[in-house]
Structure 1
């Protein structure tokens, strides 16, 4: 099965992101707004207990932290993705690094840029217009994050939560 590790922000932040996603993101219905800590990787059923154990251990060693969302940005010119920029605080960077150790596959597809996607697969002409409009809107949200989620992909492409791991929760 294809899995990933994400942080879901508060409903308030998800609602703000979804105001744009429902217009500019064709994956809007497949997963709620999130910050990807570990992008999709293949896992078979006998590997799952090891990954879950490792996630419990990682989560127990990272204290809850503040998520800072501070502006709209994009991955242009590499691709036409528009996102809410998340400040890469130490806890986020550490979580990401630990998602490439132990039982996790070691490969990294991209450099870690924490973000919440609000638009993707946009045509070049509309991308510039939309990015320009969204860049004028003030985004500044801070909230405490106290968990990470192991998610898996269904056959229809949607993602579901498999298990939640509380940060700082000693075993």
Structure 2
């Protein structure tokens, strides 16, 4: 089965992102707005318990931290993806890196750029228009992150939470 690890921001940030995603993100119905910590990876039923144990260790060793979102950016010219840029603070980078080493294999296909996608798979003209207006937008969010989620992919391609991992909890 295919799994991934993500941070879901507050409802306020999700609502703001979804205002654009409804119209400009082809994956709108498949997953809520999120920050990807670990790209999709395959895990057998037998290995899932080990993955969960390792994620609990990572969460236990992580202290809550604040994230800041203060601009709209893009991955162009590589892709016509537009996103809310999450400042790449060390705590977030460290959390991502822990999920790419030791027990976990690195499933990353790109360098880690913390973000929340708001538009993707746009045609060039539409991308230019949308990004042109959104990059002028003033966006400012700061919030505490105190957990991440293990997600799994359903047969219809959508993603749902398998388990949440709260930072600083004791190992279970």
Q: TM-score, normalised by structure 1?
A: 0.98
TM alignment of 1:1-80, pairs within 5 A: 1-80=1-80
String of CA shifts for 1:48-87, please: whole Å, max 9, x gaps. Answer: 0111000000001110010111100000000000000000
Q: Which whole-Å deviations, capped at 9, do the CAs of 1:101-135 have from their partners, x for residues lacking one?
A: 23322242100000000000000111011001001
Aligned-partner SS, 2:45: coil
Q: Report the equivalent of 1:148.
A: 148
Alignment partner of 1:81 is 2:71: no
Q: Is 1:123 aligned to residue 123 of structure 2?
A: yes
Distance (whole Å) between structure 2 residues aligned to residue 149 and residue 160 of structure 1: 9
Partner of 1:137: 137
Equivalent residue of 1:80, what SS?
A: coil
Aligned counterpart, 2:96: 96
The gaps in structure 2 that reach 5 residues or longer are: none
TM-score, normalization: structure 2? 0.97
Task: Give the SS at the match of 1:47.
Answer: helix
1:125 is paired with a residue whose SS is: helix
1:54–1:102: 8 Å Cα contact kept in structure 2?
no
Instruction: Please list every run of at least 4 consecutive aligned residues from structure 1 whose deviation after the TM superposition is greater than 6 angstroms.
Output: none
